[in-house]
Structure 1
Amino acid sequence: MKILLYFINNVLSQPIFIIGIVVIVGMAAEKKSWDKILPSTLKAIIGFTMINVGGQTLGTALLPLQLMISRIFRVKAPNLTDIGATQASSLASIGTEMALIFALGFLVNILLARFTPLKFVHLSPHVSFFFAGMIAALLKFNTKLTIVPLVLIGAVILGLYMTLSCAYVNILIKPVKGADGFTLGHSSSSGLLVASILGKFLGNKDHDLEKMKIPKKLNFLREMTIALTIVMTLLFFFLGLFSGNGWIMQNVSGGKDIVVFSITKGVEFGMWITVIITGVRMMLAEIIPAFHGVADKLIPNAKPGLDVPLLFPNYPTSVIVGFLCSLTTGLIGMLILGAANYPVIVFPALIPTFFTGAVTAIFGNAHGGTRGAILGSCANGFLLIFGQALLLPLVGSFAPIMRILSETDYCVYGPILGFFLKAIGGA
Structure 2
Amino acid sequence: MPAINWIIANVLTQAGIVIALIAMLGLLLQRKGAGEVIIGTFKTLLGFYVLSAGSAVIVTSLTYFGTLFQAAFHVKGVVPSIEAVNGYATNQLGLGGQIALAFLGIFIVNILLARFTRWKYIFLTGQALLWMSTMTVVFGHSAGLRGIWLIVAASIVGGFFCVAMPAVAQPIVRRITGNDAIALGHFCTIGYMVEAGIAWLVRKRNVEEQPSVEDIKLPRAMEFLQDTYMSLAVIMVPLYLITAAFAGPTAGSKDAGGLNYMMFAFLQSIQFVVGVYVLMAGVRLLLGEIVPAFRGISMKLVPNSKPALDCPVLFPYSPNAVIVGFITTTIGTIIAMFTLPAIGFAVVVPGMLSNFFAGGTAGIFGNKVGGRRGAIIGGIVHGLFISLLPALLVTTFQSLGFPSMSATDVDTITGALIFAYIVGPIMRAI
TM-score by shorter chain over 0.5: yes
Unaligned residue ranges in structure 2 (runs of 5+): none
Q: Is the 8 A contact 1:183 1:303 kept in 2?
A: yes
Q: Give the secondary structure class of the aligned counterpart of 1:305.
A: strand
Tell whether 2:359 aligns with 1:357. Answer: yes
AA aligned to 1:76 is K
Residue of structure 1 in register with 2:245 after alignment: 241
Question: What is aligned with 2:392?
Answer: 390
Seen in structure 2, the aligned counterparts of structure 1 residues 189 and 79 have a Cα distance that, compared at 3 Å, is: closer
Asked if the contact 1:19–1:123 (Cα under 8 Å) also holds between the matched residues in 2, the reply is yes
Deviation of 1:392 (Å): 3.0
The root-mean-square deviation of aligned C-alpha atoms, in Å, is 2.5
Shift of 1:139: 1.0
Residues 365, 372 of structure 1: 8 Å contact kept: yes
Deviations 1:302-332 (A, max 9, x none): 1111111111112121111111111111011
Name the amino acid aligned to 1:225.
Y
AA partner of residue 231 (structure 2): A
- Specify the code of the residue in structure 1 equivalent to 2:386: L
User: 2:128 aligned with 1:127, yes or no?
Assistant: yes
1:325 is aligned to 2:328: yes
SS of alignment partner, residue 175 of structure 2: coil
Report Cα offsets for 1:382-419 as digits up to 9, x if no partner.
Answer: 1111111112333467967975x612323444335422
Cα pair distance change 1:85/1:418, threshold 3 Å: closer
Q: Which residue of 2 aligns with 1:298?
A: 301
C-alpha distance after superposition, 1:342-378 (max 9, x if no partner) = 3x44212221111110011101111110011112221
Is the Cα contact below 8 Å between 2:98 and 2:137 reproduced in 1?
yes
- What amino acid is the match of 1:233? V
Matched residue SS, 1:117: coil
**1:114, 1:300 within 8 Å by CA — same for their partners in 2?**
yes
Which of these residues, 381, 389, 409, is aligned with residue 411 of structure 2? 409
1:53-98 CA distance string (max 9 Å, x none) = 32233123212222232233332246899x9888544532321111
State the Cα distance separating 1:295 from its structure 2 match: 0.5
Asked whether the equivalents of residues 178 and 314 of structure 1 are also in contact (C-alpha less than 8 Å), the reply is no
Deviation, structure 1 residue 262: 2.3
Cα distance in 1 between the residues matched to 2:183 and 2:80: 32
TM-score normalized by structure 1?
0.92
Contact 1:183 1:304 in 2 (8 A): yes
TM-fit CA distance, 1:280: 0.7
Q: In the alignment, does 2:310 pair up with 1:307?
A: yes
Structure 1 pair 167/260, CA: closer, same or farther in 2 (3 Å)? Answer: same
3-state DSSP of counterpart to 2:308: strand
Superposition TM-score, scaled by structure 2 size: 0.91
Q: C-alpha displacement at 1:202, in angstroms?
A: 1.7
CA separation in 1, counterparts of 2:84 and 2:191?
A: 29
- Equivalent pair of 2:241/2:265 in contact (CA under 8 Å): yes
Residue number among 264, 267, 271 corresponding to 1:264 in the alignment:
267
Of the structure 1 ranges 65-74 and 108-117, higher mean CA displacement relative to structure 2 is found in 65-74
Residue 114 (structure 1) aligned with residue 118 (structure 2): no
Q: Secondary structure at the match of 1:304?
A: strand
Give the direction of change, closer, same or farther, for the CA distance of 1:259–1:75 in structure 2 (3 Å limit): closer
Q: Deviations over 1:263-312 (max 9, x none)?
A: 20121011111111111111111100010111011111111111111111
329 and 156 in structure 1: CA distance in 2 versus 1, 3 angstrom threshold: same
Structure 1: gaps spanning 5 or more residues: none
Q: 1:160 to 1:373 in 2, by over 3 A?
A: same
